[in-house]
Amino acid sequence: MPPADLAAATANPAVAKDTGPKDSPVLGMVAAIGAFGMLSTMSLFAKLLSETHHVIEIAFWRNLLAVIPFLVAIVFFRQRQILKIHSKPGVVFTRSVVATGSILCVFGAFALLPLADATALVFTSALFVPVLGFFFLGERVGRFRWSAVIVGFVGVLLVAQPGGEWNLFGVALGLAGAFFNAVLGTMLRLLGRTENPATLTFYLVLTGVLLLAPFMPFIGKMPAQNEIGLLLGLGASGIAMQLLITTAFKYAPAALASVFSYTQIVWATLYGWALFGMWPAANILIGAAVIIGSSIVVILRERYLARKGALPREPAVGA
């Protein structure tokens, strides 16, 4: 996460560009801003619910509410193509399991840390991508990208402020969530151009429901009346994010749309200030700026190498 649905939406940007309508960068950028706003809103609902509900329970409801529209489309509108996996079903299943771990880590980080702090840590996902590509895909990572990765993790130290007052477990969850999201992006490279984004998203949320359902009898609590709106908001913002991110990467190049993921820090800051009276400290703002800058360098470098044919395919962004 941030969540893994974003990776599914960007799984096939090159094909969408070749077979879909002509690019409309303005529409794509507006949709991207809205999508990442919805992602921040979903994280906010998760944080509010975490005050009275377990993170596993929140992740279960998020997946359940997200899978319902797919089931309606499959059963009542006969969209059976959503079920079809064209190749590598093992990778699709493994990706879905990793995505469940990712959303648990991300929601856990938002439960334990201020919104802006957790958001800044999740941004490091882009920094893990070239590292994973080097170890698992045999991609060459030059000094340019290694330098950006190192600088990015200096930003992490600024955010985490070791030696000061910080939540070690929350920071660890944020970094674990970012790492898992990068793993999801690496898996999408292996899936290549064969799978439908809707198919990947459906199996992702369905697997999440099946994996987390056994825990519900032990940790699940009946939502209070005033929490029903929060749960519905959690599901609605997740679905809206998915629709908007699909639109963004349909009408705008991936490298352009992905840059707007960093508007999340604006949303997180505003939500934290308006609802919790928490304005991010200077170290958070500086660290976030360092992470964002180095991540953009990595994203643009990946885009450049993909165009030259130095990568297996155009990288998935925002996993």
Q: What angle do CA 190, 195, 200 make, to 5 degrees?
A: 95
Measured distance CA(32)–CA(130) in Å, rounded: 23
What is the predicted pLDDT for the residue at 8?
Answer: 43
Return the amino acid letter for 142: G
Does the pLDDT value for residue 319 go beyond 70?
no
pLDDT-based confidence at 256, cuts 50/70/90? low
Measured distance CA(177)–CA(295) in Å, rounded: 16
Bigger pLDDT: 181 or 83? 83
Measured distance CA(30)–CA(80) in Å, rounded: 31
pLDDT-based confidence at 162, cuts 50/70/90? low
Measured distance CA(249)–CA(272) in Å, rounded: 28
Burial class (CB in 10 A: 0-12, 13-18, 19+), 192: middle
Measured distance CA(135)–CA(266) in Å, rounded: 34
Q: Is the dihedral of CA 299, 314, 67, 90 positive or negative?
A: negative
Bigger pLDDT: 116 or 106? 106
The encoded tokens of residue 267 equal 């949303």
Bigger pLDDT: 25 or 121? 121
The region that residue 269 occupies, defined by phi over 0 for left and psi between -120 and 50 for alpha, beta otherwise, is alpha
Mean pLDDT on 181-198: 77
Mean pLDDT on 162-168: 65
Other CB atoms within 10 Å distance of the CB of residue 216: 16
Rounded percentage of the chain residues whose pLDDT exceeds 90 = 35
What 8-state DSSP symbol labels residue 317? -
What is the predicted pLDDT for the residue at 255?
Answer: 59
Mean pLDDT on 275-304: 82
Does the pLDDT value for residue 18 go beyond 50?
no
What is the predicted pLDDT for the residue at 12?
Answer: 44
pLDDT-based confidence at 9, cuts 50/70/90? very low
The encoded tokens of residue 18 equal 């070749």
50-67: buried (b, 16+ CB within 10 Å) or exposed (e) per residue?
Answer: beebbbbbbbbbbbbbbb
Other CB atoms within 10 Å distance of the CB of residue 225: 7
How far lies 257's CA from each of 4, 53, 172, 251, in Å?
Answer: 16, 34, 28, 9
Rounded percentage of the chain residues whose pLDDT exceeds 70 = 81
What's the predicted TM-score (pTM) here?
0.80
The encoded tokens of residue 11 equal 């799984």
Distance of CA 107 to the CA centre of its chain: 11
What is the predicted pLDDT for the residue at 230?
Answer: 95
Mean pLDDT on 81-110: 93
The region of weakest confidence among 21-35, 240-254, 289-303 is 240-254
What is the predicted pLDDT for the residue at 116?
Answer: 83
Measured distance CA(32)–CA(13) in Å, rounded: 14
pLDDT-based confidence at 130, cuts 50/70/90? confident
On the CB side of 74, CA atoms within 13 Å amount to 14
